[in-house]
Amino acid sequence: MKLVFATHNQNKLKEIQALVPDHIQLISLQDIGCTEAIPETADTLQGNAKLKADYVTNNYNLPCFADDTGLFVDALNGEPGIYTARYAGAESGADANVKKLLENLLDKKNRAAHFSTYIALNIEGETLLFEGSAEGVITKKKKGENGFGYDPIFKPAGHDRTFAELPLATKNKMSHRAKAFTKLIAFLNKTNTNI
């Protein structure tokens, strides 16, 4: 079973490959020759995930799934939300995004936050959505060398370490992306879809 994961993010690809069962062959955008940046112009995570999946399906005629993830911080009225990946500007990287978030939280006591991931799967003429979330808090400083993005400042509920301090196998049991992807895999297994 071959399935395209519409991402250029190698860290995401690595995380998801660790979850994929043997009978599913995950194909990257690089594998299909898609090097362009796929626009994310929707105003919801679901919309952006669908835009990316549709782009691959429409341009490459392949079954595909795409995800979009947002970090929602209570004290910042849900920021960065859909702008999570470009919070400090369109060309900014993870360090700049983390720095801006920590600065915006300097005078805030409530550091509650949650990650939310939506996956859009285009398969056999249908689009299906799968969601996963992870509750936690934003730490006051970066900790850990694993993961990517906001992982060094996100401590999941019930844990005393950030996502970046946890081994990938542990993170993959509780992360927003892992939860959404587990639902996707369960669907593919249940339907015995032949891709």
Reply yes or no on whether 68 is catalytic.
Answer: yes
pLDDT at 118 (0 to 100): 97
For residue 186, give the CATH number of its domain.
3.90.950.10
Residue 18 pLDDT > 90, yes or no?
no
pLDDT band at 103 (very low <50, low <70, confident <90, very high): very high
pLDDT at 149 (0 to 100): 93
pLDDT at 11 (0 to 100): 79
Neighbours of 23 (CB within 10 A): 8
pLDDT digits (tens, 9 = 90+) for 132-156: 999 999 999 999 999 889 999 999 9
Q: Among positive and negative, which fits the CA dihedral 26, 20, 46, 81?
A: negative
Q: How far apart are CA 104 and CA 111, in angstroms?
A: 11
pLDDT at 109 (0 to 100): 96
pLDDT at 45 (0 to 100): 97
Mean pLDDT of all residues in the chain? 91
Average pLDDT over residues 113-124: 96
Q: From the candidates 31, 54, 68, 74, which is the catalytic residue?
A: 68
pLDDT at 90 (0 to 100): 82
Residue 19 pLDDT > 90, yes or no?
no
Q: Say which residue the tokens 């691959």 belong to.
A: 56
Average pLDDT over residues 119-123: 96
pLDDT at 39 (0 to 100): 85
* pTM for this predicted structure: 0.88
- Nearest of 166, 155, 171, 167 to residue 73 by alpha carbon: 155
Domain that residue 124 falls in: 2-191
- Total domains, the chain: 1
pLDDT digits (tens, 9 = 90+) for 160-193: 999 999 998 899 889 998 899 999 988 887 765 5
pLDDT digits (tens, 9 = 90+) for 45-80: 999 999 999 999 999 999 999 999 999 999 999 999
111 versus 15: the higher-pLDDT residue is 111
Q: Say which residue the tokens 């409530």 belong to.
A: 110
Count of residues in the chain: 195
